[in-house]
Amino acid sequence: MNFIEWTAEMSVGSGVLDGHHQMIIDCLNGLHPLLETDAPEDKVLAVMSKLEDFVLVHFSEEEQEMKRAGYPDWRAHKELHDRMYDVVFSLKSDIEKGEKVDARRLFELIQDWLVTHILGEDRKYVPYLTDPAAKPVGQWKRSNGRDC
Ligand SMILES: [Fe+2]
Ligand SMILES: [Fe+2]
């Protein structure tokens, strides 16, 4: 059984972004048993590298989508992404340096990413992605004082 299960309530109304979230969840599900069983460092590192790649690609594409859709709070959202990436990068660096991974930090990452981020922050842009009437581009340009 997976540590985290994808559910329809996690959908953000974009097949591509939902697919990214599922890939990230798969990665976290792959990482969890490795940490639980104290697996060799190279195995953990391989999954962490994959996770880092997925996260980078996803954040970048999600930020583009938010801008394109006219989501006014994309800058604040990007800051959350940057902080999340720092956590992933720092965990990966710890492993590379031969430090033992703190499983609690991983759980915090999962919790933060899934509960707070996908179900909370990511879902805030859903109306802009799915309802063209809710995203007049001029409105977010004005609210940000610039166009990107
Ligand atoms: Fe996000
Ligand atoms: Fe996301």
Q: Confirm whether 81 is domain-assigned.
A: yes
**Cα-to-centroid distance, 121 and ligand 1 (Å):** 6
Q: Confirm whether 3 is domain-assigned.
A: no
Q: Please state the φ and ψ torsions of residue 38, each to the nearest 5 degrees.
A: 60, 45
Please state whether 145 falls in left (phi above 0), alpha (psi between -120 and 50) or beta: left
CATH code of the domain in which 131 resides: 1.20.120.50
- Predicted pLDDT of residue 39: 83
Alpha helix stretches (DSSP H) within 37-72: 41-69
Which band of pLDDT confidence, cut at 50, 70 and 90, is reported for residue 78?
A: very high
Q: Is residue 16 scored above 90 in pLDDT?
A: yes
**Cα-to-centroid distance, 62 and ligand 2 (Å):** 6
Residue numbers of the domain that contains 100: 14-144
Q: Give the total number of structural domains in the chain.
A: 1
**Rounded mean pLDDT of 12-33?**
90
Amino acid at 9: E
Among all bound ligands, the one having the nearest atom to the CA of 58 is: 2
Residues contacting 10, CB < 8 A, separation 6+:
18, 21, 114, 118, 119
- Predicted pLDDT of residue 31: 84
**Cα-to-centroid distance, 43 and ligand 2 (Å):** 25
